[in-house]
Amino acid sequence: MAREIERKFLVKNDSWKNGCPGLPCRQGYLVTGEDITVRVRILGDQGYLTVKGRTEGISRDEFEYRIPVADAEAMLGSMSRGGTVEKIRYHVDVKGFTWDVDEFLGGNKGLVLAEVELEDEEQQPEFPDWLGQEVTGEVRYYNAYLAGNPFSTWKK
């Protein structure tokens, strides 16, 4: 069984970029609920189908499978519910950890989040100085929530 253990943070400045190449990402949700989320994603030139279980602490079951991009496009077009999320994803290496930094586009433009996957819940990566407030577990920062409730519509 695959287990995802991750922490998520707001990003307070762009000092992380340093010429990092990013990949375009578009994703939508076929199923969203407390117990299961099914996501379809196109990241760069690859398609993925991901099934995630209920979040417990900072962990949850996660199963991800490569699928043909044409299939991912078709699912995004006809099966996704509640909108899509568009972003540029960057992989930033910091002292033995890879941080995924998402610079959101479209209705979520202006939001930048960083997440780090861990081997266990007790693992403590060194936090880079460009990280802001931790938002792990805050539902409004889940991509599934952002698909139907874009950042640009939030009351400031």
Q: What is the pLDDT of residues 53-84, one digit of tens each?
A: 998 889 999 999 999 999 999 999 999 988 99
Q: What is the pLDDT of residues 88-128, one digit of tens each?
A: 999 999 999 999 999 999 999 999 999 999 999 999 999 99
pLDDT at residue 156 greater than cutoff 80: no
**pLDDT for res 57:** 87
Q: Which of 29, 48, 90, 145 is catalytic?
A: 29
**pLDDT for res 1:** 56
Residue 90 annotated among the catalytic residues of the structure: no
**pLDDT for res 39:** 97
CB 132 within 8 A of CB 115: no
Band of residue 155 on the pLDDT scale cut at 50, 70, 90: confident
What are φ and ψ of residue 143, in 5° steps?
A: -60, -35
**pLDDT for res 51:** 97
Domains of the chain: 3-153 (2.40.320.10)
Q: What is the pLDDT of residues 12-32, one digit of tens each?
A: 999 999 888 999 999 999 999
